[in-house]
Amino acid sequence: MIKGSCACGRIQYSTDAQPLSINVCHCGTCQRISGSAFLAFVDFQTSQVTWTQQPDKWSCSDIAGRGYCKMCGSTMSMIYHFEKEQTYICLGTVVETDHSLQPGAHIFLKDKAPWFTIADDGARRRDTFSLEFEEKIKKWKAEQTHG
Ligand SMILES: [Zn+2]
Ligand SMILES: [Zn+2]
């Protein structure tokens, strides 16, 4: 079980599903919208997460949209346009859980903040996405341009 909320409490969510993965993203966008060194995400099947209210949306790039609360500014989620069946929820919004929430990978280390040192947590380390994910994006982009 995971229950979470934005800072002002206007947007809340819960799920009884098992997390699919946990990734810590150090990309430039995650740094800007967190105002910090990274954002950590836990992802679920979109259909298995219940929201009291859908997060407000910002299309951060051609491949993904970000969910946030326009009242308090909390960054809450991310959905890739080619993978809408999965929702990546920002770990910092989790209020209550019985999962251990151990990160599986640090991604986009090519953009890592120079002032931040990653703990020796045993998680995988990648410069960008995994190769498998890059392939997924490439395939989706090709489909877009060819109609
Ligand atoms: Zn809020
Ligand atoms: Zn990122």
Range of the domain at 44: 2-145
C-alpha to C-alpha distance for 3 and 22, rounded to whole angstroms: 16
**What is the distance in A from the centroid of ligand 1 to the CA of 56?**
10
Q: Where are the beta strands (DSSP E) in the chain?
A: 2-5, 12-15, 21-25, 39-45, 50-51, 56-59, 64-68, 75-80, 86-90, 94-97, 105-107, 124-125
Residue with tokens 């251990």: 100
Contact 53, 4 (CB under 8 A): no
Ligand (nearest to CA of 80): 2
Q: What is the CATH number of the domain that holds 34?
A: 3.90.1590.10
Q: How many domains does the chain have?
A: 1
0.85 exceeded by pTM = yes
**105-107 vs 124-125, strand pairing mode:** parallel
Per-residue confidence (pLDDT) for residue 62, from 0 to 100: 87
pLDDT, tens digit (0-9, with 9 covering 90-100), for 6-33: 999 999 999 999 999 999 999 999 999 9
Counting every residue, how long is the chain?
147
Q: Which ligand is nearest to the CA of 88?
A: 2
Res. 70: pLDDT tops 70: yes
Between the CA of 69 and the centroid of ligand 1 the distance, in Å, is 5
The pLDDT, as a whole number, for residue 69 is: 98
Span from the CA of 70 to the centroid of ligand 1 (angstroms): 7
Cα of 146 from ligand 2 centre, angstroms: 27
Helix (H, G, I), strand (E, B) or coil at 60: coil
| 147 pLDDT tier (thresholds 50, 70, 90) | low
User: What confidence category does residue 145 fall into, taking pLDDT thresholds of 50, 70 and 90?
Assistant: confident
Q: Does the pLDDT of residue 146 top 80, yes or no?
A: no
Place of tokens 């990653």: 118
pLDDT of residue 103: 96
Whether 67 shows a pLDDT value over 70: the answer reads: yes
Determine the distance separating the centroid of ligand 2 and the alpha carbon of 25, expressed in angstroms: 4
pLDDT tens, residue by residue, 39-66: 999 999 999 999 999 999 999 888 999 9
- Categorize the per-residue pLDDT at 100 as very low, low, confident or very high, splitting at 50, 70 and 90: very high
- Residue 65, beta-bridge partner list: 59, 79
